[in-house]
Amino acid sequence: MTRSTTETKTRAGAAARVLSTLCAAGVMCMSSAVATAQNGDAAAPAAKVPPPLFDVTVEHDLPDAKATFEEVRKLMLDNYYTSTLTEDALYWAAIKGMLRHVSPPDNPELGAIWTPEQWARISQSLQGVQISLGFKSQYNPGDGSLTIAEILEGSPSEGLLQPLDRVLRIDGKPLKGLNGEEINKLILGEPGSEATLTIVRDIKVFEIKIKRQPFKISSVESFIFGAQPGNQIGYIRLKTETQGIAEEVKAELQRLADRKVDRLVLDFRENGGGVFGEALKLAELFLPKNSIILRTVQHGDKLQNVASNNETPFVFKVAVLINEHTASSSEIVTAALQDHAPGMRQRSGGAANAIVVGSKSFGKGVFEKTFELPNKYHVKFIIGAMYSPSGRSWQSHGLTPDINVDQDSKIMPALFNLPPDQRLTKDAVLLTAVRWLTSMD
């Protein structure tokens, strides 16, 4: 369990609360009570509040702002050229506009509002459950097709679709010209409903019917490189931080430790984030008690440090793998381990033995909270900025690896589908990490 320290470091004895948040490149959620640390429990940053990560002010005055809004709304309803414009549509547009205004300029859709049906699907995905056809794909705007990149284990598509299949139509509807949201609506649906996919495989064109069913998403992949005891390297890939993943990783780490494996590859490539609290728990597995995991700034310029409460952390030499799609929760763990590496101990006070390999990460250094509205809709927006233990922000510019290895992210699905030994020979980032770990005493 992680705990929180505040800048005042009071001995009030009351619990601080890390707010329920959504913090992924799409969505994340945490609701965790954390205790306020007492004097001397953990190192605190300087009391100076960092400047805002991006500007949300308005450069000019807006006299009678509320009345102006209402007047514009009325003018549009009375004068817009078509009667299909409704008052509800304008309110909806205003909400979306507010959410875009307080989101990062390079990620304007970070703030979001969801219908009850959309929120139900999001909640299921956070629990690692999905109701869909069960594949990952890349959209080809040239011919309007989806290229299958990965078949999700246990999904309805398993055994029916293959990687590199191309989907031309769903239920007879061509995909060309559709945006991502429109395509997702065709893929998602009610449990038990069927979708007919028009597939191109090699030179064959045929149709497949797939029934949408709930299935558990496998978020962890693990294996061991090397057969000789004492010279083995563990590998754990985290696809996303779903609820409970920290306990799953803990069990894998214990399995490696029991086999006397002391070197580990922790692969966060293509991981867009997940549950905020799980990221803190993942970092805590490696960091000893009182080590800072994350620093945050929240409403009212409230500075907060989240510190490990783990008295028996795992001891591994760790190579963390990242790329441009490593985001949010994954960046929290990466930044914590990178800052607590030997060269950073003086700045952050930690004891991890880690190096980061790959290419610069996505750069999502803010977290959000989701609120339920009386009409059962849900809205989320930024409530805090995140900083690494040494005080670094990675918002917009990402985390820089210690060893840079450029690799086209488009080949990642194919690499992840290879058996471990073949993957090692073809994956330049993984091979670099393994060589570094092998060179460690």
d(CA 214, CA 130): 5
DSSP tag of 36:
B
Same domain, 402 and 313: yes
Number of structural domains, the chain?
Answer: 3
DSSP tag of 316:
-
pLDDT digits (tens, 9 = 90+) for 189-242: 888 899 999 999 999 999 999 999 888 777 899 999 987 877 899 999 999 998
pLDDT digits (tens, 9 = 90+) for 79-131: 999 999 999 999 999 999 999 999 999 999 899 999 998 888 788 776 666 66
Question: 167, 190, 216 — which closes off a domain?
Answer: 216
d(CA 421, CA 43): 43
Same domain, 352 and 228: yes
What residues pair up with 112 in beta bridges, in sequence order?
380
Same domain, 207 and 242: no
For residue 414, give the nearest of 72, 138, 122 by alpha carbon.
Answer: 138
Same domain, 151 and 236: no
Question: 161, 194, 216 — which closes off a domain?
Answer: 216
Same domain, 136 and 258: no
Domain assignment present for residue 341? The answer is yes
What Cα–Cα distance (Å) separates residue 321 from each residue in 22, 100, 126, 133, 262?
24, 31, 23, 29, 17
Same domain, 319 and 297: yes
Residue-wise over 339-365: b if at least 16 C-beta within 10 A, else e? bbbeebeeebbbebbbbbbbbbbbbbb
Selected residue with higher pLDDT from 10 and 283: 283
Domain assignment present for residue 26? The answer is no
Q: Are 242 and 217 in contact (CB under 8 A)?
A: yes
Whether pLDDT at 408 is above 90 = yes
Domain of residue 307, CATH code: 3.90.226.10
Domain assignment present for residue 138? The answer is yes
Q: Report which secondary-structure segment, H or E, holds 147.
A: strand 145-151
Domain assignment present for residue 19? The answer is no
**Other C-beta atoms lying within 10 Å of the C-beta of residue 14:** 8
Same domain, 191 and 298: no
**Other C-beta atoms lying within 10 Å of the C-beta of residue 18:** 23
pTM exceeding 0.75: yes
Per-residue DSSP letters for 178-246? --HHHHHHHH---TT-EEEEEEEETTEEEEEEEE-EEEE---EEEEEE-SSTTS-EEEEEES-B-TTHH
Q: What percent of the chain has pLDDT above 70?
A: 85
Residue span of the structural domain in which 84 resides:
66-103
Question: 216, 250, 277 — which closes off a domain?
Answer: 216
Domain assignment present for residue 4? The answer is no
Domain of residue 154, CATH code: 2.30.42.10
Same domain, 302 and 413: yes
- The number of angstroms, rounded, from the C-alpha of 27 to the middle of its chain's C-alpha atoms is 7
